[in-house]
Amino acid sequence: DTGVSQDPRHKITKRGQNVTFRCDPISEHNRLYWYRQTLGQGPEFLTYFQNEAQLEKSRLLSDRFSAERPKGSFSTLEIQRTEQGDSAMYLCASSFGEGGRANEQFFGPGTRLTVL
């Protein structure tokens, strides 16, 4: 399968714990995006990378959230001191981007986080 993969698919944690999610994009894609989707809502943008550079972060991304893409390939999203409000589906997407080209973003299956 050459699509976007995410690991784990499900994560249950207790409030206050740290969690880390991984995303492996489509191999030739230089752009990687993180979104968050809560029940009954559309995905909301969190952050995106072009290669290893994090170029934009949403105001939704509090200082408890950190994302990295150290070698311009896979990315990790860490949430520190989780809160119940962090419970959501975390989606990763990738695309091949050059300037403003509107290449579509391909989404992974998501990581569903439940904070107890």
Partner 1 sequence: AQSVAQPEDQVNVAEGNPLTVKCTYSVSGNPYLFWYVQYPNRGLQFLLKYITGDNLVKGSYGFEAEFNKSQTSFHLKKPSALVSDSALYFCAVRSPSGGYNKLIFGAGTRLAVHP
Task: Say whether residue 83 binds partner 1 (CB under 8 A).
Answer: no
The single residue among 55, 60, 62, 114 that binds partner 1, judged by CB under 8 A, is 55
Token pair of 73, please? 């390939």
Please state the closest distance from residue 55 (CB atom) to partner 1, in A.
7
Distance CA 56, CA 77 (A): 14
Distance CA 78, CA 13 (A): 13
Token pair of 39, please? 């029940």
Nearer to partner 1, 82 or 92 (CB): 92
Task: Say whether residue 40 binds partner 1 (CB under 8 A).
Answer: yes
